[in-house]
Structure 1
Amino acid sequence: MTEEDSIYGAVQSVEELGRLARAHRKQRRLTLETVSGLGNLSTRFLSEFERGKETAETGKVLKALRTLGLEVIIQPRGRATPAHRTGRTREETS
């Protein structure tokens, strides 16, 4: 597993999701302003989302994640992520 892969995994809270999105954005050397322009989202919203604001609008959160090149996969806890979706199992990312 690379250092980059270590930021990804199961998310248990809005704060963790925001922290993951921020780490992903910074790894790619993108500013809030750049993501804002690409996704037609305000920098204020993006900043609040990255800080784990509980009331962030779900549609905008999903749009921000798509803009960053991330996706949300819903599955029962403990089940391995299908290899055809990610190229590796969930256990390999833990």
Structure 2
Amino acid sequence: MKVEIDSPEKLGTLIRASRKALGMRQDDAAGSIGVSENFLGKVERGGETVQWGKLFQVLTELGLTVEVEVPESFAAETMAQFQDIQHKRGQAAGSEHDASKHEVK
């Protein structure tokens, strides 16, 4: 099932509905996911400012995924740019890792 998400509130509602469909209480779900009950409540209410990493942690634990539909008119260029950026990030992460191995203490 795909649900179009156009606001934090709608995403929060979907997260709450999924948690309830799994038969989980909010406090139990938060503990299982590894976030605070306060954070999960904020997400479920559609809080405007949440931490991306924790949000994806919640989505993953509830079995939800995120897809972004890119219009065909610029999909090819977007994918090329996306791959280039991902490649550069990978190289930068590798360089930082290599530099830390050669650090003088």
Alignment TM-score > 0.5, same fold: yes
Q: Summarize deviations over 1:14-63 as a string: whole Å, max 9, x none.
A: 11000000011111111111211211100000001100100011111110
Residue 77 of structure 1 and its aligned partner are, at CA, apart by: 5.6
1: CA distance, partners of 2:71 / 2:33: 30
The question of 1:75 aligning with 2:69 is answered yes
Tell me the TM-score normalised to structure 1 length.
0.70
Aligned pairs for 1:40-55 (under 5 A) are: 40-55=34-49
Alignment partner, residue 65 of structure 1 = 59
| Helix, strand or coil at the partner of 1:12 | coil
The SS at the match of 2:24 is: coil
More helix by percentage: 2
> Kindly tell me: are residues 30 and 11 of structure 1, through their superposed partners in 2, closer, same or farther at Cα, counting changes over 3 Å?
same
Q: From the superposition, tell whether residues 19 and 77 of structure 1 become closer, same or farther in structure 2 (CA, over 3 Å).
A: farther
RMSD: 1.6
- 1:15-30, aligned counterparts within 5 Å? 15-30=9-24
Distance verdict in 2 for CA 1:58–1:26, change over 3 Å = same
What is the total number of aligned residue pairs between the two structures? 72
TM-score, normalization by structure 2:
0.63
Name the CA shift for 1:77/1:16 in 2 (closer, same or farther; >3 Å): farther
Q: Identity over the aligned pairs, expressed in percent?
A: 35
Residue segments in structure 2 that go unaligned for 5+ positions in a row? 73-105
Q: Relative contact order (C-alpha < 8 Å, sep 6+): which is higher?
A: 1
